[in-house]
Amino acid sequence: MDDWDVQSGNGIRFEWGSAGVGRLAVKSACLAIVDVLSFTTTVSVAVQQGTRILPFWLPEGPTTVIDRAAAQEAAAVYAQQSGARLAVARRAVTLDSPWSLSPLHLCRAPFVPRLVLPCPNGAAIAATAPPHVQVVATCVRNITAVGSWLTARGYGTPEHPVAVIAAGERWPDGSLRPALEDLLGAGALICDLHAQGAGPLSAEAAAAKAAYEGTADLTRAIADCASGRELASKGFVEDVAIAAEEDACTVVPVRDGDGAFAPG
């Protein structure tokens, strides 16, 4: 692989989506996944409560009803085999299945030790990341905790680089939609890492850092961006508010040997 597409020589690197992981993971020691609305935010809430989260990829975009049904059936089988409960779609929650991708739902739902959390973006990245690479779930709620955890373990140097991956969203045709909330969350982590002496930054990482530093009101930006407005229009404005809680969580969700996120 040519060095130009892995941002070599830098301790902190930045890319988008599953394709970005496919390129950077080969020469990165750690992946910090950022999916603010809502996968990594929901993971932070669950792991803070003691629940281990098993990510599962769920298709989105121009797939058929059969594709989605097959994926949902596979998720149910995976949950059963893993001894876990299965999260459902936000609007599909019931008294028997109160867990979903909504962080608010997890705040209110009964505790479960293991939960399969399907998602088309952050979960897909986490589930497909190479097993030899450390994977950390990062969101606005745990930036300082994640930054300190990474630097304390020697990540963020050219020898042990961190690849910060903004998950993004999807356009109706299934292509990647770069999402502002993930750019800003990634930039916040890069800023924190750099302040602790990690680096150097790739040009891509420096641009993400500049985007975060140039945002005067992070909470408002998350609420006003396309993803925030979409969730609010569907009645999940509280999920957006939870996602904007800066440093509300001190737990660092790290993927363990069986693929679940647990406290680092």
Q: Which domains does the chain have, with CATH numbers?
A: 3-263 (3.90.1560.10)
User: H/E element holding 21?
Assistant: helix 17-24
> In sequence order, what DSSP letters do the residues of 92-149 get, joined into one string?
G--SS---BS-HHHHHHSPP-SEEEEEESSHHHHHHHS-TTSEEEEE-GGGHHHHHHH
Q: What is the pLDDT of residue 65?
A: 60
pTM, two decimal places? 0.95
Give, for all 264 residues of the chain, the pLDDT tens digit: 457 889 999 999 999 999 999 999 989 999 999 999 999 999 999 999 999 999 998 777 666 666 878 888 999 999 999 999 999 999 999 999 999 999 999 999 999 999 999 998 999 899 888 988 999 999 999 999 999 999 999 999 999 999 999 999 999 888 999 999 999 999 999 999 999 999 999 999 999 999 999 999 999 999 999 999 999 999 999 999 999 999 999 999 999 998 999 999
* Residues whose CB falls within 8 Å of the CB of residue 24, separated by 6 or more in sequence, listed in order: 6, 7, 13, 15, 31, 163, 165
In eight-state DSSP terms, residue 100 is B
Query: What CA–CA distance (Å, rounded) separates 217 from 142?
Result: 18
Tokens of 130: 């190479």
Q: What is the pLDDT of residue 31?
A: 98
Cα angle 209, 157, 148; round to 5: 65
> In angstroms, how far is CA 68 from the centroid of its own chain?
21
Q: What is the pLDDT of residue 57?
A: 86
Query: CA separation (Å) from 126 to 100, 178, 181, 207?
Result: 17, 18, 18, 24
Q: What is the pLDDT of residue 72?
A: 85
